[in-house]
Structure 1
Amino acid sequence: PRPHATPYPGKDEAAQDSARLNFIGIVFCMMFGTAALPHILMRYYTTPSVQEARVSVFWSLFFIFLLYFTAPCLAVLAKFDVYSNLVGSSFADLPAWAAAWAKVDPTLLNITDVNKDGIVQLAEIVIGGDLIVLATPEIAGLPYVVSGLVAAGGLAAALSTADGLLLTIANALSHDLYYKMIDPSASTTKRVTISKVLLIFVAIIAAYVTSLKPGDILFLVGAAFSLAASAFFPPLVMGVFWKRANKWGAIIGMLAGLGVCLYYMLRTYPFFTNMGVPKMDLWFGLNPISAGMFGLPVGMLTIYIVSLLTPAPDQKVQDLVEHVRYPHLRGDTAAQAS
């Protein structure tokens, strides 16, 4: 048996290289996906100037970094505690948290004496990944009430995130799609009504997809970051740092990046292939959760090519991009006054 702290575990060198590549892929998608999460980008609209927006970006990314940095530490501490205090103990002396959580859902925690020796072996422990965060306080010997606080915090975070995403999607569909492209003469009342209807519609679709349980929490979260990195990061960066980028390049680039990312997930993730989607081999051994590795460069390249083949933005748009890149205090003050 290999030490549990071995990085990039694998039975041979090829498996270790694959584990290393997939780790880099997840880091890549998490990094660029975080920079393009729509419900986070919306918070920057509330700042009064470009300079304040940059300060807001710094603090938000700082606290996001703390979350990302401490999550692996939590996993390591929980794993160390299980290895130290549970493995090798007697089945007659199992800790109270093991019996309690096994009663809640046997699929999340199951400890079975397979070889009938009365001693807990590592291979006899099955702990679901979704249980780690909730059970860690009790694993560490803290009171059960702490697990309740953790659960409440997780629920609050999930609800606030879902609320932000639903508002973002509904506002984008009602304002950017309907008002800007379908009916520019729509009244404010009509636009608000359409936004609320779309909000309910999107929430129902999200609830239905969730009820299908398309994957574990790791894949669902990772897929969100891959999709954000593929669809939103290319136009966000190209629009700010390349004045030649135009709306057609951004639109087609978003569709291309999103399409490649979704295509790879649909053709490689077991949930979809089991539903009849034709299965294909992994590209370079990357798991579906890292599909953003392919979608992001495709989106960037598409924006570049399409923008060169279509008319450049007008001077007003280019001046706005210049102001975003090099904000001046006088310009920000003038914008606030207007």
Structure 2
Amino acid sequence: MKETTLVEKFSINALACTLATTATHPIELVKTRMQLQGELTKSYQKTYTSTSKSAVLIVKSDGLKALWSGLSAGLMYQVVMNGSRLTLFDNLSCLGVPAFPAGMVSGAVGGGIGSPFYLLKTQQQALSSLNVGSQHKEANVPMLQWFRRELKEGGIARIWRGSPAQIARVTVGSGAQLTSFTKSKELLGPVFKGNWFLTTAVSSVVASVFVVLFMSPFDVVSTRIFNQPVDPVTKKGLYYNGTFHALGKIWKEEGSTAYLKGLRAGYPRHALQTILTMTIWDALKNFYESWQNSM
């Protein structure tokens, strides 16, 4: 059998994640809006409540198309981040590295590489006539135009601003996701008598719980840091100096429950994203392996 190349692995991994993201993007957008409302205050009126009501409100305010704001940046983020993350995880696993450190290392690398796309996605998803969170109207441009302007104004450092928060987010989330998914498959494989679909689907459900449980605080922090207003002179964020400063400030100003903001949309989004990604990922790998064997 012909050995799968790095390019082939990357393509399979990236395709699995982009297919999943196309379906989950509107829920991700609602989650982002929920995480931004009531920023650094305990007294505020909720604009976004349940996932379904929030989606209806967004459509009424900004049109149906608004639910897919930031999709191009979101898809590119999946290609770059998850294509790198899952490919590196596969390679580390083949070298005998345990799932937990392999998941965290691959998450850190993927999160760092994909950070600029997540920055743009977050700012585009936050744009609304409802004005919840900082409104970066300059982000409402095609992706290449945004990159050209940002690089011209501040160089490489400007498009990677806030990347430590994103690295922390994906490191924790990836470690939790891939470890729980891998271990669940090992335990459930004999239970489902080798049925790869049932094993993968149920393992994905288990993994989604761990992702949400461990990643939520870092998810909120990452969204806040990427969407905070920037000082026009210093080009630095006005609210948060970094990941740990944001964690502390959010706790102080909003309370510990703020770390779970957006969870109403966050859990279904992460659950569906994990289930679709892991299931499609395994399906594509099995299909590609069968196709190679038939050649």
Task: Give the TM-score of the pair, scaled to structure 2.
Answer: 0.29
Relative CO higher for 1 or 2, CA cutoff 8 Å, sep ≥ 6?
2
Query: Bigger radius of gyration, 1 or 2?
Result: 1
Task: Give the TM-score of the pair, scaled to structure 1.
Answer: 0.26
Structure holding more helix per residue: 2
